Structure formats: structure tokens, C-alpha cells
Chain A
Amino acid sequence: MDSDPIRHLITPGLGSLFLFSVIGGVFLLLSGDDSFSDLATQMMINTVVVLGLQIYIGNTGILSFGHIGFGAISGYAFAIFAVSPSRKLIQIPNAPLGLAEIDLTPFQSGIAAIAITLVIAIIVGLALSRSGARSGSVAAVVITLALLFVVHEVATNWIDLTRGGKTGLSFSPFGGNTLQGSYPIILLLFAAIAVARLFKETRAGRLAQAAREDDLVARAMGINPAVQQMIALLLSVAVVAAGSAMRVYEIGSISPRLFFFDYTLLTLTMLIVGGRYSVTGAVAGVLVITAGKELTRNLAELDVDGFNWFFRDGLTDIFLGAAMLGFMIMRPAGLLGDWEFDHWLLRRFKGAKSPVPVSKPTIMTSAQLKADSVSVRFGGFIALDDAALTAKGGEVVGLIGPNGAGKTTLLNVITGLVQSDNGTVLIGSNSLTGLTPIKIARAGLARTFQNIRLFPALSVGENVEVIRLVAHRHRQGKEMPSTDSLLVKAGLWDQKEWRASELDYGNGRRLELARAAAAGPDFLLLDEPTSGMSDSESIDMIAQVRTMAELIGAGVVVIDHDLNFITGICDRVYVLDQGRVIAEGSPAEISNNPLVLAAYLGEKA
């Protein structure tokens, strides 16, 4: 994406075409036989809906039970518009707003249905972001489940509009319309595959994935997950809505049951079994689960002596429940994990790229970071007591002190993760006091974490790239080195395609540093960059931090316990003890200060 966004989309595009042809192939194969043609159409519709789920659940990690509720809204809106007025006068003569007289073509109705569903999706999306939805959050489960449930109840009870639960609203008394082999479904299928696959590569998609991997780090790096989650939601709801309208058209009628728990279970199982992080996985999930369903349906009709307790009606439901449960217990990432066909294609047919020349260092920032009279209490415990710290561009400032002295708390106050009771934080002339971590990151501070926090499921390159995307928009004044040159500088070029979770510890630390640098900050704040490193790794880290800071023109504030590292890298050092700054000066002054010795080793008794 560095130089040529179009080229970046070529392989995902090709991958989409491939997936489309696989589904298309299965479809053609099945349509040859009359008894399977309905199944083939159903499968295509399900693929569209599951891809819709994938766009949201896969990229954001937020578990939504509400998408089929959106499907119900779309399905009803579609049916109410598209059923002919004469049929409506029989079924829902008292529909409000004169809906009974409206006569739209299926295409117009579909568009209208998607539009209406999107309006509801915006409201639900706002509610989700207000609740602080993130990967695995309970609030999101409750809100989406409420949507599914409420839509179902309204559909069941608002008989004037929906004809209620028993019979449902139908196009004709004689069964469904047929979509078999028609262009709309084929086009929609292709569109859904392409949208889902390409969304993963877009800015919004990547930022959403970063927040999925670690919400807190994403915020501390300037990503506002709420925005990306909303985009993902709207896109996914549009796809689900389109698929659901088709489903209603194909079946020829709609009742509340059609879009409730059963369909939620079916589509979620397909997604999860296939692999929710992968578009290829979502499609594979549809194929596998459809095949399994058909197989168990046929098995259920078998008559084998001694096995009739097993081969009987209901076997398909058992299969679905067992598939979901089994995968959650044994292989929670699904069949394919995050494997994409086109990634494989890319690696297979393209040799290793040679690294680009490393960019020239950027002009050093002229800003100054200043924290003044910062105090923090946790309950009765005084974590920081009137602490202060100043760092200039081009300077490396150390922050040392015994365990529990308040070093990380000070860093957390500066980056907005902890609210101070008292005190100010300034960068240049801008006050950062009281701002959110997102805004502080965008104002020019980037940090690493004591207990190393990468985006584990993203590749090494993506870890850096995604933060560079943030910098690209929010740090426009800053001239930034490319992702590749950051990786080369960090010594991680050869591991670019690795998953971040596969890195060893030292490389993980280096990646965290490169990722912070990619944010284009005026100051890098490093929390124990050498902890857990071997002696030689820790010496290397001195040069590593210095070159990285020079490359992006940033000052550095670093916490560490290793005095060799601190003396080797710092221009100035602050010593914290029990929340107070007890000494400040050059590393040489500090190591000869008796107060520091006492703080570290305890007073001699």
C-alpha cells in the first residue's frame, strides 16, 4: 500500500474471483441436477449472508447476534414493498402509511430495504460504540441479541404490517419465486466476496483488525475503534440486508421464524467453522456446513438395524450444534484460521521482494514534552506525588526507580491511560491534560508497553503498516519513513510476513518499537524496552532506539531497570521513589548519588 494502492488490491481481487468461481462451479455442478438446484441457490444466498457476518465479526472481533435481526428488517421491508398490491390487500389490508398500495419492482424494493436497514444499523452502531463495544464484550452481545429479539417480537405482534407469526407474508399462494441462475444473485455473490475480501485490506478494515487484536493499544496509538467498527457494521449490514432480501424472494414468503435463532445458528456456525478471520474461510464454512447438513439429512433417512437411534430426524440440528461446540473446544479459530487463498497465491508465485532503500532521517522535532506537578492516588495509595518531567527533541530521557516507584503510572498519565488528580502535561504549547489516549497519540506521543503488547494475529508488516496508516492521516506535518524502511531498521525485514505472535521476545520488543515509531510521534515513550532481554540484546537495543528516534526525528523517554542500558542511552535521568522525583541529572551524577543507591537497595539497616 506504500506506493501503489491499486497494485495492493490486485491479489485480493484475484482471490475473490477464484472464490467466486469455486462457488460458481459448485453451483453449476448442483444445478445440473434438478433436485439440487434449490440447494445451490440457498447456498449462494447463505454465502452472501455469512460474508456479511464476516465483515463485522471477523474484522472487529465483536460477537453480533443481531445481524440476522437486520436480515429480518430487510426481509420484511423487501416483502412489504415487493409483494403486489393485490396480494397485500388480501394479507395486510390495514398496513400503515398506505404501504398496502405501494407497488415496487423487486430491484427497487431491495434497494429500499437495504436503505431502511442501514438507518437502523446506524442507530444500533451508535449504541454499540456508546457501550464501548470491543472484542468479546458482553455489552455488544446484549445489545445485538436485543435487536434480534425485539425485531422478532415486533414482527410477530404487529400483525397489520407483517401479518404476524402464523402464516407470514407471501408473494403468491403457490410457493416461491425462483432465482436459480439469475444474474442478480450471481452479481450479488461476487460483490459480497469482493467487498468482504477487499475490506480486509482497506484502511478501515485494518484499523478495525488492530483494535480487535488489542483495543487498548489501538487507542494508545491513535486509532479510534468506534469509527472503524461503524464502517464495518454498515458495510456488513448492507451485505446481510441484500442477501436477506434475496432469501425472502427465493422462498417467496417471510415469517418471523425465518430470521431468528435457527438462521443465526446456521450462519454463525458456517462462519465459525470456516474461520471467522478469513473470507476464504467464510466461504469454506458455507460449503462444509451445507455438505454436512445434506449428508446428515440423508443419513437421517437411512434404516440401519441397531443404528436407528442415530439415523433419525433431527440429526442435522445435532450436527450444527456439535459442529459449533466441537470447533469452539478443539479449534476455536475455525478450519482456515486467517488463511486467505490469495495470500497463499502471492507467496507461491512471487519471490521475496528486496528491501527498499531506507529513508533519510526526518528533521528532529522542536517540541518539548513537559509534565508538571503530577499527583495520582489509587484509593489510599499515593502513586505519584508532585512528579515532573521534561524532555526535548533529540534528547533521550531516562526514568528509573525501584519497583512500585510510580514510573509506569507517570507514563500512563502522560499518555492519558490514567487520569491524574493534579498536574499538567504539555507538548510544545498544546495541553494534553485530560485528553483521551487517542487524541494524545495523534498529538505526537507513541508508547510501548511493559508487558509487550503487539497485535498478535497480524503480520509483522501489518503491525507497523496499520499504525503508519494512522500517522498518515493524523500526523500530516511529519515526513515519515516507509513501513519497509522501519522494518529494515528494526532488523525485522526477513520476518515481515510472520505473524507477530511467532516472533521471539527480542524481536517482539523491536517490533513494538518500530510500531511506535510508525506513529510518527514527536516523542517515543518506552516502558522497559530491555526487560527480559539477554545482555547482548540489551546492548543492541541502545543503538536500536537511537537510530529509530533519529529516523523519525523524535525525542525519547525511557523507563528501564538496567543501569548499563540507561547510562548507555540517556542524556538525562530522573529517579522516582515512592511517587516523587528524588534526583535528576546526567547518568554519571545519578549513579554516584547516595539517595539513588538507598532507593534501590534500601537504606542500610
Chain B
Amino acid sequence: MTELIQQIIDGLGRGGIYALLALGIAVIFGVMHLINFAHGELITVSAYSSYWLFSIGLDWWLIAPIIVVVALVTAVIIEFVAFRWVRGAPDFTMLMTSFGVHFLVQALFVMYVSANFRQFPRPEWIFATFRVGQLNLEIYDLTVIVITLLTLLATYLLLQRTMFGISLRAAAEDFDTARLMGIRSNRVIRSAFVLSGVLAGIAAVFWLMRSGQAGPTAGLSPMLKGVLAALIGGLGSLSGAVLGGFVLGLVEVLLISRLPSSIAGLTDGIVFLLIALLFVFRPQGLISVKHVERV
């Protein structure tokens, strides 16, 4: 029992990061029907920024907020440079565009920094553990859970209570009607990227605290996790994406602790396989999004 609670806490810690990433992906999918396979590049850019900020002697307390801004700015730039031009294009074109951005950003880092990973110091204090009863809790996990929940709450309030959020949700539900209501396409899409950038930035801080390295492919794994979590949640659904993130985190932790050590290295592959199976049997994801084709 204790073991299970321990694992649930670990899973929620992981899942929180995935939820933040997935939510950003779902927001963008909502307004432009684009699955952003370049979402991980926000983490890559953040990783290199952290490396550089460390090298000029900054500390995590300062680096964290800077990274959030960096991710935000990167998201807006990517929208402006690439996605703006394929708005409304066929799905095939949009998918390949997001992969194109993914590969191009990766190539830029290989060219201008290095193909090798660079290490930077992890904040060791956050990985300290303390005991509550029989539980062994990491400050890190608790921080992730608390900050994630606060971020999700803030996002929820933003989306529900502010005109910014209402506009964004309106555009996600029916883009043309939203335009008829006076919502500007450019602005609402940019704001979706801003929001997804901020969420990815917060996720990046936690991700990088744990990984402590920067490399051209640093964003690949978080991107895949985010996309998978968003897919579990049904892509268009924001609450589904959050749920998908936590489900993914829990499934991963439970798999790692239960798989025999000989195939523990396959965890990611198994998770991917499970999600592919989910798509085989429920192509619309766990939480289905209505889609009616008029003929």
C-alpha cells in the first residue's frame, strides 16, 4: 500500500510535467488543428539557454523565470516563421511542417553549438528526500505537483474568467464564428502560442532540473510525451490533455516498477505501443471529440 502511494506521488510528479506539455499542444491543436511536433524545440532552446545562463554564473532561481520567457518567445517566433504560412492547409502539410521545424531547429543547434550533449549542474537540494511515515518524498516531486496544480489552476481561471481565455476557447471551438464575433485570427493564434510557450517553459524548468543537460535532441523525449498525453486526452480537449498527462505519468511509473529489469529499458516503447493500441481501438482518444462531416 505504502509502495503504491509512493508510486502515485512519483507518477503525479512526472505526469504534471507531461500535463503542462500536453495542455500546450492541445491549445494549439484547438485553434489551428495542428499537432505541434515542434513543441519539444521549446525545451531544446530552454536547455541551451540554461546551459549558457549557468556558464555566465546565474543560479536556478534566476534561470527559471528567464527560461519561461525564452520558451514563450521561441513559441511566438516559430509561429511567425513557419506555422503562420500553413494555416488551413491540409493535415499532411501541417504535420510535415511541424516535423520540418523540429528537424530544422535541431540542425541549427548541431551547426552552431555541437552535436554533443552539454552538462550543467542540477540543483541537488531539490532532489533531497524526507520521510513522512513510511513514504520517502522528494522535494522535487512535491514542488512539481504543487507548481503544476497552481499553473493549471491559473490557466483554468485564465481560460474561464478572462476575455483572453474566452476568446481562445471560442476560436478553438469554432474558428470562423469566433472571427465573426470580432476575434482577430492572428492575435488569437499568437496568444495560443504564448500560452503554450509559457506552459512549456514551466515544464522545461522541471525537466531540465532533472536532466541537467542540453543537446540538439533534448526536446525529443518531452515532445513525444506531450504529444502522447494530448493524444490520450483526445487532442482537442484541454481537460483531456491534462488528464492524459497524469495518466501517462502514472502508467510510466507503474510500468517501470513492475517490469522485470531485463526489459525496463523498453518502458518508453511499451508506453508508445499502448497508446498506438489505444488508437487502434479508440481512434478518437480516451475522451472523444465530436467531429461531424456534413455531406
Contact = CB atoms under 8 A, between A and B. Distances in A.
Whether chain A touches chain B in the assembled complex (some CB pair under 8 Å): yes
Interface of A: 61, 63, 127, 130-132, 135-139, 141-143, 145-147, 149-150, 152-154, 156-157, 216, 261, 265, 268, 272, 312-315, 317-318, 320-322, 324-325, 328-329, 332, 408, 412, 417, 449-451, 453
A320 B269 contact: no
B293 A131 contact: no
A216 B293 contact: yes
B167 to A, nearest CB: 26
B97 interface: yes
B96 interface: yes
Contacts of A453: 295
B269 A153 contact: yes
B107 A318 contact: yes
Given A132-B283, A139-B283, A314-B110, A153 B96 contact: no
Contact of A315 (B111, B275, B277): B111
Given A146-B272, A153-B268, A318 B96 contact: no
A157 B275 contact: no
Given A139-B279, A315-B111, A156 B265 contact: yes
A74 B174 CA distance: 46
Contacts of B97: 325, 328-329
Given A136-B95, A142-B279, A150 B111 contact: no
Given A216-B293, A317-B110, A63 B273 contact: no
A216 B104 CA distance: 35
Contacts of A321: 100-101, 103-107
A261 B110 CA distance: 15
Nearest to B35: A138
A454 to B, nearest CB: 14
Interface size class of B (residues with CB under 8 A): 35 or more
B293 A141 contact: no
A508 B115 CA distance: 54
A84 B202 CA distance: 52
Interface stretch (B10-18, B85-93, B186-194): B85-93
B231 interface: yes
A314 B112 CA distance: 8
B237 to A, nearest CB: 14
Nearest to B263: A157
B5 interface: no
B111 to A, nearest CB: 3
Contact of A318 (B108, B231, B266, B280): B108
A143 B280 contact: yes
A324 B89 contact: no
Contacts of A318: 104, 107-108, 111
12 contacts: A139-B279, A146-B272, A150-B272, A157-B265, A265-B99, A313-B110, A314-B108, A317-B103, A320-B103, A321-B104, A321-B107, A451-B295
A325 B101 contact: yes
Interface of B: 35, 82, 85-86, 89-93, 95-97, 99-101, 103-108, 110-112, 115, 220, 224, 231, 235, 263, 265-266, 268-269, 272-273, 275-277, 279-281, 283, 293, 295
A317 B111 contact: yes
A143 B279 contact: yes
Contacts of A216: 293, 295
Nearest to A57: B92
Contacts of B103: 265, 317, 320-321, 324
A312 B283 CA distance: 45
Contacts of A63: 92, 95-96
A329 B86 contact: yes
A153 B266 contact: yes
A325 B104 contact: yes
Nearest to B282: A131
A453 B268 CA distance: 42
Given A61-B92, A139-B283, A329-B85, A154 B110 contact: no
Q: Which of B95, B100, B269 is most buried by chain A, counting CB atoms within 10 A of its CB?
A: B100
A320 B107 contact: yes
Nearest to B101: A325
A329 B92 CA distance: 12
A38 to B, nearest CB: 22
B26 to A, nearest CB: 13
A156 B263 CA distance: 11
A261 B265 CA distance: 19
A247 to B, nearest CB: 21
A87 B280 CA distance: 41
Of listed A145, A317, A450, residue having the most chain B CB within 10 A: A317
